[in-house]
Amino acid sequence: MTDGGSGADGRGAGSPRVTRADVEDARDRLADVAHRTPVDTSRTFAAMSGAASLGLKLESFQRTGSFKIRGAYNAMAQLSAADREAGVITASAGNHAQGVALAGEILGVDATIVVPEVTPAAKIAATRGYGATVLVEGDIYERSYEFAADRAERTGETFVHPFDDEAVVAGQGTVGLELLEQYPAMDTVLVSIGGGGLISGIGTALAAADRDVRVVGVQPEGAAHAPPSLAAGEVRPLDDVDTVAEGIADTRMSETTFEIASEVVDDVVTVSDREIAAAVTLLAEREKVVAEGAGAAPLAAALSDAPDLADAHPAVVVSGANVNITEHAELARTGLFELGRRARARLALASWPARAQTVIETVAAEGAELESFERADPRPVDHPNRTPAEIGIEGRGADHLAGVLTALDELDGVSVVERSVSEE
């Protein structure tokens, strides 16, 4: 791997770290390895965002379930025979892990992956399924990275960085080349930022295009290191991160990706974890697409007020689908609440189970779905002659659910003592 300065590649000190030609070369290497993932236009999401049209670049359908195979393979395919013989090691929250593991399987290179404790079990199992050795070390990615880098120094293994590598960036940039061909109307692209490899690569590919495309980065509020860094003109790392989007839960960009992003990224917006959950829910419901939090973040931004998409033609990069089923279900439930279509309430019933049956019948009559209904532990403030119960209901929206709870409260022998309904 090169470090971007003058050297064996013949580039001068002032030359770009990654060029359009590098991305095109990567496309050639990946021709028989990575899928050309589809772009699906969505009238629903276009209307919700105010855009003239909106295209979803579904890297969730990529091999290994994310875009990471592009950069990992492009980097490893260029390793020397000695570097391959030494084996490779990397640190990853999961998606780069699978990319390196699959690339290692294809190229016949032994791979060791270090992942943080927050990595979903599905990603660990998939990585091992490609024949890689997986080590769980550290509570966040930075700790895993430190462990892997130290081990590489001791063992001589070749470290394949998830984003601080020009070859990795060039590989990720092939997403941008495909978008130019698949979505001719595109004038904006929304891309998640973790370490910055994907947006740096896509931005590089688009910067040399024959039309102007605005590049907008998206980060969760709990891992928003890019806005202060780009504003300050230097990398400003976070001390810690806190987000459901563990795939982009990085504390900083690298010097490589920061330098490139500073030239090719037009804006960065942030979204809340609840907005990400809502986007996960909508992708599953409207597109029948499973997305992890990091993959859904750009759609969350498109549906927020952060980027102005009025009459625009944005491409939304759904970068990955590697999420545990249980985690996806929890995100979807949170998303329903954020969308105003789920509510919880605590009831006081004059008798059980007679009034319980009345509650069930009323919820159904009001056109809502009873998600859960159970007796609750009594509290000191509860009426001693009433049975406490808790219910979860789903409906068409906040107004509908509020009406259902009002109908329950008006029943003889039933009182709604607490309610939680999100605003739409």
* Catalytic center residues: 68, 319
Match 């202060």 to its residue by tokens: 228
347 CB neighbour count, 10 Å cutoff: 26
Contacts of 383 (CB under 8 A, 6+ apart): 348
Q: Is-contact 345 412, C-beta < 8 A?
A: no
Token pair for 369: 């779905």
28 CB neighbour count, 10 Å cutoff: 10
Question: At residue 218, what is the residue type?
Answer: V
Q: Which of 418, 343, 420, 419 is nearest to 382 (CA)?
A: 418
Question: At residue 34, what is the residue type?
Answer: A
Token pair for 178: 């495909």
Token pair for 350: 């004059």
Q: Which of 328, 312, 319, 284 is nearest to 298 (CA)?
A: 319
Contacts of 373 (CB under 8 A, 6+ apart): 356, 359, 360, 389, 390, 391, 392
DSSP structure string for 35-70 = ----EEE-HHHHHHHT-S--EEEEGGGSGGGBTHHH
